[in-house]
Structure 1
Amino acid sequence: MTYRSRLSLLVLLDSGIVITALAVSRWLLEPNSAAGTSFYFLTGALLVLHHVSFFYFKLYKKAWEYASVGELVIMAKAVGVSFLLTAIAQAVAYGTLQLKWLAVAWMIHILLIGGSRLGWRMIRGGFNKQNGKRKRTLIVGAGSAGTMLARQLMNNPDTELHPVAFVDDDAKKQMLDIMGLPVAGNIGDIVSVAKKLEIDYIVLAIPSMNKKELYHIYTECAKTSAKTQMIPMLEDLATGRISVTQFRDVQVEDLLGREQVELDIESISEYVTQKVVLVTGAGGSIGSEVCRQISRFLPEKLVLLGHGENSIYAIEMELKESFKDTNIKFFTEIADLQDADKMMAVMLAHRPHVVYHAAAHKHVPLMERNPEEAFKNNVLGTLNAAKAASKSRVETFVMISTDKAVNPTSVMGSTKRVAEMIIQHMDRISHTKFVAVRFGNVLGSRGSVIPLFKKQITKGGPVTVTHPDMVRYFMTIPEASRLVIQAGALAKGGEVFVLDMGEPVNITQLAKNVIRMSGYTVEEIGIEYTGIRPGEKLFEEMLKDDEVMEQQVYPKIYIGKASAILYEEIEGLIADFPAMNQIELRARLLEMANHAMADVKQKLATVSG
């Protein structure tokens, strides 16, 4: 219906309401009297003043199918103003007031006007209802976001969702109807409510809830057969970029990620803004995210170094598009860490102030089968990058390490532990501040367990887990990258920063969550245990309790205590490397890495003694 046709219909309807209200009022008060000139004057005056008042308050522009209490209040004011002006006009014209007529007519008028708009809303709402079977939807959260969602779903003709109830932990809302929908229980009642009301769909409508609350709520929703989604984040709703009805799936990152840590913007800006920054492994999961985060601090130049041309090209194009309105200069360097001359040439050409060393071989079983490649990339590559950084007078060199470097049982963990010792040695002999940052598994990174689970689920299962008791620490890629950058701002030289990874996660439970989030039951997909792979541990460690400072130097960042530097042994290993076979190399690496850890414990025992 166009605005003109809609306006004509409303003016005609309201005119009939005005005449009816006055006629009924006269009939009720003076049923046997004939209508005089004063009655016709009153009718004409009220007709004109009603429409003038409604135009003034813009009530003919309201979309009554979306009306709320605010519109009803404005309507009451407009009717009151029109009757007041009519009474004044009658007093001026005839010198008398028919207050009884006007009072009764006012009440009838209010009743009919309100009823007509309510009827309009009900009729329009009926037209908007989608034909066919709609999915019965349970809304978790009866607050402002939940009620807004319910209203939009009820008035949206295109949605397939039909809201039937809320659940909310607020005791004051229990047993009430909101937007015509009952608050059927609290969060703990989700399973029973879903069964009783035959729920097909659940929407989480609490945008401000923290990770623990989300995990608790999702755990309850996962016990039902209903598909579960959530409304966008609070900041996206506030900015208007996303509508409340643009649902998204609950991601594993939502359940396992922790609350975001605020960065010390000032300290990071001091060592990054308008500086030259180089990132090795810039095409990898962590390296590329470090590049994205660093770019927000507007360095003068960002050098993207990597071995794979496709991944480097992809991150270069992404950054140039995302930061096209800035003055950041992006440079790419295709280089192999094992090429010492090339690394030296790159560092001397760009003269970076800060280097983030993210390049590494990290896949544990693959490195068990190829220990020489792990050694060349993780040990020799780190040494080449560190020497080149020192030679080109880099201010801060941050190496990204792993929790697998603690009491290592794998080639990968051993090479990263040896790389940490190289970094600490370089810090002692160089003006450059060399530090390492150690954290656990990163959600969504290449080779991580979650993409593997999703791929297996897509194929119909089963999902493979190595052992029922396998646990791992997890962190999201953005959080890990932010904390790496923050650790660089805290660097004094020689530290091994340890990121607080939170609580360890049971991999079997993680697999079950991923299966449910994909819309299947565990029984449909299945879980198969394949046995612990070479080099793996059931439990990963960030540091032993006696090997980490008790106080955090920054939220979620600790500093490991000084460890033994066995650089002479490392030099011997490098010299012997060309003549060693895989078995000998693996044995030497494990012996050296664990010997270093043992020396730390012995020193600590001596000090405490």
Structure 2
Amino acid sequence: MMLCDAVALPILLWVAFALRYSSVTPPVDGNWIFAAATISSLLSLYAFGFYRPMVRYLGAEAAKSVFTGMAASVVALAALSYMVPVMVPRSVFIIFWLLGCGYLGVSRYLARRWLGRLSTRGLQRRPVAVFGGGSAGAQLVAALQAGRELCPVLVVDDDLGKQGTLLSGVPVVSRQGLSEAVRRGRLDTVLLAMPTMPRHRRIALVNWLEQLNVRVQTVPTFSDIASGRARLTEIQDVVIEDLLGRDTVPPRRDLLGRCITGKSVVVTGAGGSIGSELCRQIIKLAPSHLVLLEQSEVALYNIEMELADLIQRHHFDLKLVAMLGSVVDPGHVERLCREFDVDTLYHAAAYKHVPIVEENPAAGVRNNILGTLAAAQGAEAAGVSHFILVSTDKAVRPTNVMGATKRFSELVLQAMAGRGSSTVFSMVRFGNVLGSSGSVVPLFREQIRRGGPVTVTHPDVIRYFMTIPEAAQLVIQAGAMAKGGEVFVLDMGEPVRILDLAQTMIRLMGLSVRDESNPDGDIEIVFSGLRPGEKLFEELLIGDASVRTEHEMIMQAHEEALSSEEVAAALQALRAVLDRGQSASLKALLCRYVNGYRPREEVEGEDPELPCIEADETAAGATTTAAAASGKGVH
């Protein structure tokens, strides 16, 4: 490049003289001026860093080097002409500076374009459109032009002032222009380059793009880029989770830290979806101790390694303890709470997969009910200040064993709080969390990538959805507001029809749904039927009574509860039936004590294995014996 400039610069100086004198043979007083101009220009440009960047990736910084380098060269030439007795008109220096800047800028631009085309020659780059003509869009277009896989052919922006312009040589068009390009088959992929767009606008935009039958991908948010978790060029499919919820409400810092900051905290089920996210949120709130209780060795190892890395990277000042064990183990939670002087316990340990628990009711009763009882009694005996149960919307008028056991767990804590306790017991109830084990979103995504079919249980099934981080934050805030015995219900937003979710995911991946109206589509949706214990609709409240709390996303439910004596009798009856391994009797007992529990067989008009109205003689006898022996209190 310097050799090319060494040839061009003296020619440009000669042209400057020719323009000044309006002659192709201008009078020049001494040829030394050409050598001086070449040497001074090259030295100035080198000093100002013009030759340092790679030509293929030259940016705006090159323009500054050109202007300042040529200006320094011209000043040096002008000074030299005054010291040496030679006649050089002053306008020659100005013309030479303009010509030099123009030559250097145009030559580098052409070289950059030529090198860029040379590097992509022969490549079959896929044409794409970039939606967003802001700074993120400009950076993405530049990155794609230098890449080897995608070629930006359009930039789409709703700003009328940008439409009709060029962004790095790519035309900026309206939505109508994008629709026309898709219709003509010019492209089949749209990249969203608007990381800061509010969720409601993003949802509306994706819904519009969905109708074009194009694949929609996105770039990371600026927060992810700034934190180092992602780069702008890391293009990925639209995260459907971002389209299901709503704009999150910022958490209240006073509620987040009330039961955690400076305190010793235990999380049971720490390796699960909700338990692990609770742990991630808790370590940011500066507890003195965080104790992880988990019965799965692999899950405990994974979450301990992840949290230890976070603590080291962010220099958090707390002691992390990993404890392998089960909440069903009598006295285990008490010993643990006493050893670490625990202040707050979040009980997230539970069997939650509806079909599995439906086939294994004894395991569900033992883990979800007796495990909650053992954990609560251990926490109470050790003087724990707050005990927060992570519950589920399936506990409301349940049609499955899992929901019935979670509702009975709520009844246990309500009874313990009702008889008076130094420990504040509370429950937090919410719906499905996105990204948890068993969630339909990753299942659908994998089925679509395999070419289908996508399995939906029923065309009318609907669910509430919430992201795991938001749910964990609200659980922490709800527990901080508890006075004892409250059932808190999280605002889950609007319910989502699962069939619509499946169709949206298919279309956003650039594919079409294969059905009767479109037999040549890409992905078929198959209805597999409701699984054992599954409901069409989920609810969050047993009754209609609920009141707002000091947090706009958290409600408090007012629901009827069992007395301490009734709960004690039911627990004794459940233990008696568990010892005999009588699954049908377990369901009968749950029917008796969980208000609204109706097994799906009964709901659908089938003959259940055991009538729900009354238990068999064994269960009834155990209930009577327990009621006589229990006295007062939950055992």
TM-score interval (norm. to shorter): 0.7 to 0.9
Query: d(CA) in 2 for partners of 1:273 and 1:101?
Result: 73
Could you say if the C-alpha distance between residues 333 and 102 of structure 1 is closer, same or farther in structure 2, counting changes exceeding 3 Å?
closer
Give the aligned partner of residue 149 of structure 2.
160
Q: 2:186 aligns with which of 198, 210, 213?
A: 198
Q: Residue 253 of structure 1: CA displacement? A: 1.7
Q: 1:569 — aligned with what? A: 566
CA distance in 2, matches of 1:436, 1:32: 92
Question: Is the Cα–Cα contact under 8 Å of residues 495 and 559 in structure 1 kept in the other structure?
Answer: yes
Contact 1:278 1:305 (8 Å CA) reproduced? yes
Tell whether 2:283 aligns with 1:295: yes
Counterpart Cα distance in 2 of 1:304 and 1:263: 24
**2:278 corresponds to which letter in structure 1?**
V
Residue 359 of structure 1: aligned partner: 349
Are residues 1:435 and 2:434 paired?
Answer: no
The yes-or-no answer on 1:150 pairing with 2:151 is no
Query: Is residue 586 from structure 1 mapped to residue 587 from structure 2 by the alignment?
Result: yes
Instruction: State the partner residue of 2:132.
Output: 141
Taking only the aligned residue pairs, the percentage that are identical comes to: 38
2:493 maps to which of 502, 505, 529? 502
Equivalent AA in structure 2 for residue 409 of structure 1 = T
Separation (CA, whole Å) in 1 of partners of 2:177 and 2:33: 59
Question: Which of residues 445, 460, 463 is equivalent to 2:436?
Answer: 445
CA distance in structure 2 between the aligned counterparts of 1:112 and 1:547, rounded to whole angstroms: 78
Match of 2:166 in 1: 177
Task: Measure how far apart 1:321 and its partner are.
Answer: 3.6
Q: Distance in 1 between matches of 2:334 and 2:109?
A: 77
Contact 1:25 1:104 in 2 (8 A): yes
| RMSD between superposed Cα atoms in Å | 3.0
Contact kept, 8 Å, 1:138 with 1:194, in 2: the verdict is no
Q: State yes or no: 1:217 paired with 2:205.
A: yes
Partner of 1:376: 366
Equivalent-residue separation in structure 1 for 2:228 and 2:310 (angstroms): 21
Whichever residue aligns with residue 148 of structure 1, its letter is Q
Confirm or deny: 8 A CA contact 1:190 1:220 kept in the other structure. no
Higher helix share: 1
Q: Tell me by how many angstroms 1:171 deviates.
A: 1.6
Aligned to 2:375: 385
SS of match in other structure, 2:127 = strand
Q: Is the 8 A contact 2:214 2:507 kept in 1?
A: no
Deviations 1:584-608 (A, max 9, x none): 44244234332799xxxxxxxxxxx
Residue 242 of structure 1 is matched in structure 2 by 230
For residue 405 of structure 1, what is the aligned residue in structure 2?
395
Residue aligned with 1:594, SS: coil
Shift of the 34–438 alpha-carbon distance from structure 1 to 2, 3 Å rule, reads closer
Alignment match of 2:297 (pick from 309, 313, 324)? 309
C-alpha contact 2:344 2:385 (8 A) present in aligned 1: yes
How many residues align? The count is: 583
Distance (whole Å) between structure 1 residues aligned to residue 543 and residue 360 of structure 2:
32
Superposed displacement of residue 141, structure 1: 0.9
Cα distance in 2 for residues equivalent to 1:387 and 1:32: 103
The match for 2:535 is: 537
Following the alignment from structure 2 to structure 1, what is the Cα–Cα distance between the partners of residues 101 and 338? 83
Deviations 1:477-506 (A, max 9, x none): 222122212222222322211111111111
Please state how far the C-alpha of 1:508 moved relative to its aligned partner: 0.6
Q: 1:184 to 1:575 in 2, by over 3 A?
A: same
Q: CA deviation at 1:436?
A: 0.5
For the residue of structure 2 that corresponds to 1:305, the secondary structure is strand
Q: Is the 2:214–2:508 contact (alpha carbons within 8 Å) kept by the matching residues of 1?
A: no
- Is the 2:545–2:558 contact (alpha carbons within 8 Å) kept by the matching residues of 1? yes
Give the alignment partner of residue 307 of structure 2, picking from 319, 342, 357.
319
Task: Please say if residues 335 and 343 of structure 1, whose CA atoms lie closer than 8 Å, have aligned partners that are also in contact.
Answer: no
Equivalents in 2 of 1:568, 1:544: separation in Å? 22
Instruction: Name the aligned partner's letter for residue 311 of structure 1.
Output: A
Whether the aligned pair in 1 keeps the contact of 2:417 and 2:484 (CA below 8 Å) is: yes
Bigger shift: residues 522-531 or 101-110: 101-110
Contact preservation (8 Å) 1:471, 1:507:
yes
Q: Which moved more, 1:255-264 or 1:441-450?
A: 255-264
Q: Residue 102 and residue 520 in structure 1: after superposition, are their counterparts in 2 closer, same or farther (change >3 A)? A: closer
Length-normalised TM-score, structure 1: 0.87
Superimposed CA distance per residue, residues 33-61 of structure 1 (whole angstroms, 9 cap, x where no aligned partner): 6755x242433443343234323432232
What TM-score does the superposition give when structure 2 sets the normalisation length? 0.83
Deviations 1:418-471, CA, capped at 9 Å, x for gaps: 221221222232111111011001122222323443454465432222221111
